[in-house]
Structures are given as C-alpha cells and as structure tokens.
Structure 1
Amino acid sequence: MAKTKPKLHQSKNPIAENVRASNVALLQKHLATAVDITYQTKQAHWNVKGMNFIAVHKLFDELHEVTEEFVDTIAERLTALGGQAHGTVQAASENTVLEPYPLDLVNSEDHLRQLSEAYARWNAEVEKGIEEASESGDPLTEDLLTEVGRGLDKSLYFLESHFQS
C-alpha cells in the first residue's frame, strides 16, 4: 500500500515542496520509532530486577532521556518542513520500525538484550534515512539524522558493553 503524499503547511522554507514532503514522510517514521523506543526504554526502567538493579535502572533512565530529546528534535524538524507531527502513542504504534516490547521481561540481562536489538534496528533505519535525506538534497534533515545516529551508536555501546569482556 503506497503512502499518500503528506499535506504541507505553507512555508517560506527554501527546500522544494516535493523534497519537503518526502522528508516529512521519512521523519514521521523516525518520530514514531523515537516515541516507541522512548517508552520501550522506560518499560525496561520500570520493570528491571536483578543483582545489578540500580546501575541498569539508572542506565535505562538516562537512555530514556536521550531518546526523549530525539522525539522533540525530529518533531520540530518535521514541522519546520511544513508537516504535521504525528507524535501520539497510537500513531507511533502504527508507524514504528520496531517490534513490540515484551511486557513480561524482568531480568536485567533480558531487558539489555531486548533494548540492544531495538536500538540496533532503529540505528540501521537511521542510516538509510541519512542516505535518503542526502539524496533528496536536504542537508539539515541529513544532519539531524546523523546526530540521532551518533546518539544511538553511543546508547547501543552502553547496552552491548554488558555482554562484552
């Protein structure tokens, strides 16, 4: 099923309307995923148990704060291009690239592995998005996604370090 071209608000933004529209659609997917991963991370924060509880509990809270900033940054770029940000939980569940987070996880290792998978999956999609934004001629969206990618790389490093020696 083909996505319809988003209706844009009037703007004096110098980027061509077709480029803005394609990048609004691109950013909607990343906004949905940012909302999703923000609350997947919070789900882990609320429910983690185990010997390393406090360290992992705090890590998850820090990662939640990072992804929450991505939500705002992505939504603001999307609206600057003339789009309407779809940032509700319902919109996120329809447009995220992530798998649903298991609600029965307790063990810190299980949460760490699940979040590692989610962060890696989104990071791969961000890499594709950087390329799309570059090819479309929108250096600011490309730069925004590059910033998100750097943050995801760092977060993934923090998560995966628990399994490396």
Structure 2
Amino acid sequence: MTQTARPTHTAHPAFQASQQLADHLQQLLVDLTDLHIQGKQAHWNVVGKNFRDLHLALDEVVDAAREFSDTVAERMRAIYVTPDARSATVAARTSLPEFPADEIDTADCVDTIVAALYAVAGTGRRIHDEVDADDPTSADIIHTILERLEQLAWMIDAENRIANNSIPRSMHE
C-alpha cells in the first residue's frame, strides 16, 4: 500500500510558549505528578491513630494533584509545549523529598505529605512571577493550584499542630 504525502498543516496561534515558560510548566507538571504518586503511596501505607481521616484526606491530595497535573499538561499542549510525565522523567526531575516505601505512622505521614504539598507550592511560587510575565493565563492556573495545595497542607498539618505552640505560629494582631 502506498502512502500519499500529507500536505503541510500550518496553524497561526496567537501565543506560543517561550523555552523558559515551557521549562517552568514542565517542572510544575513533574512535581504534581510526583505528588499524586506520593499521595497514593501514603494512602496505601498509612497506619495509626486517626487512620481513616488521614486516609480520606490523602484521597483529596491525590484527586487535586491528578486534576492539576492534567490541567497543566493540557495548558502546555495549548501553547505548543509537549508535556513529559513519564515515570523516568518524574523520578529524575522531581523536587519533592522521597516518600518512604514502608508503612508510615499517621503523625509521620502528616509531616511527610505536608512537606510534599509545600514542595509543590514552593515550585509554583518560585516560577509564578516569570510565568506571569510570559503568560498570565498560565499564571492564573498556578494561582488556583497554590490556593488548593496550601489549603490542603494547612488542613492536614493541623493534625499534628499544638495550639499556640507550633512553628510557624499563627499570626494575630
């Protein structure tokens, strides 16, 4: 069977990502993908007091990370960047601390997953201003991600906090 040559397709997008924007969104995608994986690892292996509540909260982390990684990847495609969330890429490029392989006590799990949430939020905050300068639409996505991940971190971290005796201390006037 003979293949006929396809004519060249030409699109005229109003915007295409710069290399810097592509790199920033790629890093956020990698970190969100790893957060999803770490959330499932935690979900399967957490044990101890308040197990059920934390088990369910971890589902919220997984759902948010999965939804946000899809949103970021689809934004990347919309601005002509090819997302890469293959396992080898995520393992090589994540900025999250490694999650334990064994069972994990609920109190340790809280601290570990909160650290992962804040690591992703840290990536979002680190790249935000440069993303905003290149593409405010992508920056708006980062705003949404930060709002939810920092909310989840606060809610899960509250499990281990001691009223008026935890660092950071709550601010009040």
The two structures have a TM-score, normalised by structure 2, of 0.83
Which has the larger share of helix? Answer: 1
- The residue correspondences of 1:73-112 to structure 2 (distance < 5 A) are 73-112=71-110
**Greater C-alpha radius of gyration:** 2
Judged with a 3 Å threshold, the aligned counterparts in structure 2 of structure 1 residues 110 and 83 are, in CA distance, closer, same or farther, namely: same
**In the TM superposition, what is the alpha-carbon distance from 1:132 to its structure 2 partner?**
1.1
Instruction: Output the CA distance in 2 between the equivalents of 1:112 and 1:51.
Output: 11
SS in 2 for 1:84: coil
**In the TM superposition, what is the alpha-carbon distance from 1:105 to its structure 2 partner?**
4.2
Residues 16-60 of structure 1: CA distance to partner in whole angstroms, max 9, x if unpaired? Answer: x4x433211111111111110111011110001112111111111
SS in 2 for 1:102: coil
- 2:121 equivalent in structure 1: 123
- The residue correspondences of 1:136-151 to structure 2 (distance < 5 A) are 136=134, 138-151=135-148
- Amino acid paired to 1:149: L
Structure 1 unmatched ranges of 5 or more: 1-9
Is 1:162 the counterpart of 2:164? The answer is: no
What is the number of equivalent residue pairs in this alignment?
Answer: 153
Identity value in percent: 24
Judged with a 3 Å threshold, the aligned counterparts in structure 2 of structure 1 residues 11 and 22 are, in CA distance, closer, same or farther, namely: farther
| Contact 2:26-2:84 at 8 Å conserved across structures | yes
Structure 2 unmatched ranges of 5 or more: 1-9, 164-173
- Structure 1's consecutive aligned runs of 4 or more residues displaced over 3 angstroms after TM superposition are none
Judged with a 3 Å threshold, the aligned counterparts in structure 2 of structure 1 residues 20 and 80 are, in CA distance, closer, same or farther, namely: farther
SS in 2 for 1:163: coil
- Amino acid paired to 1:14: A
RMSD: 1.5
- Amino acid paired to 2:29: L
**In the TM superposition, what is the alpha-carbon distance from 1:11 to its structure 2 partner?**
4.8
